[in-house]
């Protein structure tokens, strides 16, 4: 069996290790032994405690790997990806770091590495969908609405985090880049708040977040928008924190001790936003594209609604994010996708065979995208 190393044993990393261990020799590594203990000897998964921020430790762990999956927190993601590329290892990445992955494109090509980045649900599958349709029609409008939410709406935040709160808070502080009239515009995080009706959930809040990422470089589309979805009332609570200064990064002195407000806020929110064991949650996404094809206007709307899997006790966010990543990993391991350099998910989507295989892979795990198509003649 070919060796695969999964870096990070969080909710998504663990789900990916389980998903791959049927055909591959999987090593799951993390600094937190509590996360690893639950998967010791699970269908042959090897677990290893390690400080992945230590380059020498990381290089040793991946030395024999045929492929690496990067699921570390965002603040570690870019440097981890760089180290893996320097080691000459193919990699699929879902760390969603803030840096530009194309800064590592020349390095990946030098080491003849296939590096698929941002390979989750959004960014990830959302970008693949756009990439797939971009080679078939001239797209004029792209919008992605996406969110992961608990069934329980608990005051005051009406939210729980399927991943690290500090990474969630990043969505609330990082300015959002969108495309209007063919030009990149920068808007404050949480801007353009609107209420939208999303089946089968009902009314949700949608607000600008910085989720277009690589699409800003790879696609020439007049209008591109990405918004995050939350229950009504959540953003008002976040705005109170933001306006009061709880999301500031600059340290302040209290009693002779300097602390970062955002780090304190994250620490306080973590127990409030943590899911209970096997708590029901869901992921919802709506991707809309409109454009021209053979003299007609075509509109495609992809709908995703996925819930916590009771049978496997796997969260929806782990399923929708993790299985997209493992589907791409299998394509690389099987030699079906071998583009050298940095590959954002839209490149993968442009390959019709790969896109269809990923969709089929997700469907085999009951992650299903329903598609609406509308065609209207131009006036």
Two tokens, residue 220: 């020439």
Q: In this predicted model, what pLDDT tens digit does every residue of 85-126 receive, in sequence order? A: 999 999 999 999 999 999 999 999 999 999 999 999 999 999
Residue with tokens 């969709």: 359
Helices (H) and strands (E) in the chain, counts: 14, 18
Which band of pLDDT confidence, cut at 50, 70 and 90, is reported for residue 42?
confident
Distance CA 354, CA 119 (A): 13
Q: In this predicted model, what pLDDT tens digit does every residue of 15-32 receive, in sequence order? A: 999 999 999 999 999 999
Q: Which CATH number is correct for 125-307, 3.10.20.600, 3.40.50.2300, 3.30.360.10, 1.10.40.50?
A: 3.30.360.10
* pLDDT (0 to 100) of residue 376: 84
pLDDT at 378 over 80: no
pLDDT at 379 over 70: no
Bridge partner residues of 297 (DSSP): 292, 376
Output DSSP code: residue 210: S
Q: In this predicted model, what pLDDT tens digit does every residue of 212-258 receive, in sequence order? A: 999 999 999 999 999 999 999 999 999 999 999 999 999 999 999 99
pLDDT at 336 over 80: yes
pLDDT at 43 over 90: no
* pLDDT (0 to 100) of residue 39: 83
* pLDDT (0 to 100) of residue 320: 98
Which band of pLDDT confidence, cut at 50, 70 and 90, is reported for residue 169?
confident
**DSSP SS3 for 288:** strand
Nearest to 15 by CA among 162, 211, 165, 229: 162
pLDDT at 41 over 70: no
Bridge partner residues of 180 (DSSP): 183
Mean pLDDT of the chain: 95
pLDDT at 308 over 90: yes
Beta strands 138-150 and 183-187: pairing type? Answer: unpaired
Rg (CA), the chain: 20
* pLDDT (0 to 100) of residue 110: 98
Average pLDDT over residues 345-373: 98
Q: For the chain, what are the domain ranges?
A: 2-120+315-368, 125-307
The dotted CATH code for 2-120+315-368 is: 3.40.50.720
Report whether 161 contacts 273 (CB < 8 A). Answer: yes
Which band of pLDDT confidence, cut at 50, 70 and 90, is reported for residue 127?
very high
* pLDDT (0 to 100) of residue 161: 85
Q: In this predicted model, what pLDDT tens digit does every residue of 180-204 receive, in sequence order? A: 999 999 999 999 999 999 999 999 9
pLDDT at 164 over 80: no
Q: What is the reported pTM? A: 0.95
pLDDT at 158 over 80: yes
Two tokens, residue 297: 């206007």
**DSSP SS3 for 322:** helix
pLDDT at 3 over 80: yes
């Amino acid at each position: 069996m070919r060796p695969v190393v999964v870096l990070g044993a969080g909710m998504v990393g663990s789900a990916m290790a389980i998903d791959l261990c049927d055909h591959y020799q999987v090593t799951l590594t993390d600094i937190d032994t509590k996360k690893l203990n639950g998967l010791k000897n699970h269908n042959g998964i090897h677990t290893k405690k390690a400080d992945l921020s230590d380059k020498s430790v990381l290089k040793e762990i991946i030395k024999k790997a045929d492929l690496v999956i990067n699921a570390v927190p965002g603040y570690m993601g870019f440097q981890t990806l760089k180290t893996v590329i320097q080691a000459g290892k193919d990699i699929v990445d879902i760390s969603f770091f803030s840096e530009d992955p194309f800064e590592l494109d020349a390095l990946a090509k030098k080491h003849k590495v296939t590096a698929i980045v941002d390979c989750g649900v959004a960014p990830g599958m959302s970008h693949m969908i756009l990439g797939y349709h971009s080679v078939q029609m001239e797209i004029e409008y792209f919008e992605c609405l996406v969110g992961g939410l608990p069934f329980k709406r608990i005051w005051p935040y009406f939210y729980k985090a399927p991943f690290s709160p500090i990474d969630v808070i990043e969505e609330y502080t990082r300015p959002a880049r969108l495309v209007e009239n063919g030009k990149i515009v920068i808007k404050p995080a949480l801007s353009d708040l609107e209420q939208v009706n999303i089946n089968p959930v009902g009314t949700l809040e949608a607000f600008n977040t910085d989720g277009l990422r690589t699409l800003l470089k790879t696609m020439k589309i007049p209008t591109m928008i990405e918004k995050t979805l939350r229950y009504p009332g959540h953003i008002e609570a976040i705005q109170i924190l933001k306006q009061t200064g709880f999301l500031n990064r600059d340290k302040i002195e209290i009693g002779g001790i300097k602390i970062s407000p955002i780090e304190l806020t994250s620490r306080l929110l973590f127990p409030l936003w943590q899911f209970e064991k096997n708590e029901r949650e869901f992921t919802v996404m709506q991707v809309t594209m409109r454009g021209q094809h053979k003299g007609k206007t075509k509109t495609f709307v992809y709908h995703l609604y996925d819930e916590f899997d009771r049978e496997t006790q796997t969260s929806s966010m782990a399923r929708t994010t993790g299985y997209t990543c493992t589907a791409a990993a299998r394509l690389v391991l099987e030699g079906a996708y071998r583009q050298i350099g940095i590959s954002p998910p839209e490149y993968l989507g442009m390959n019709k065979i790969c896109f269809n295989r990923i969709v089929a892979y997700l469907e085999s795990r009951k992650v299903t995208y329903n598609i609406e198509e509308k065609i209207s003649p131009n006036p």
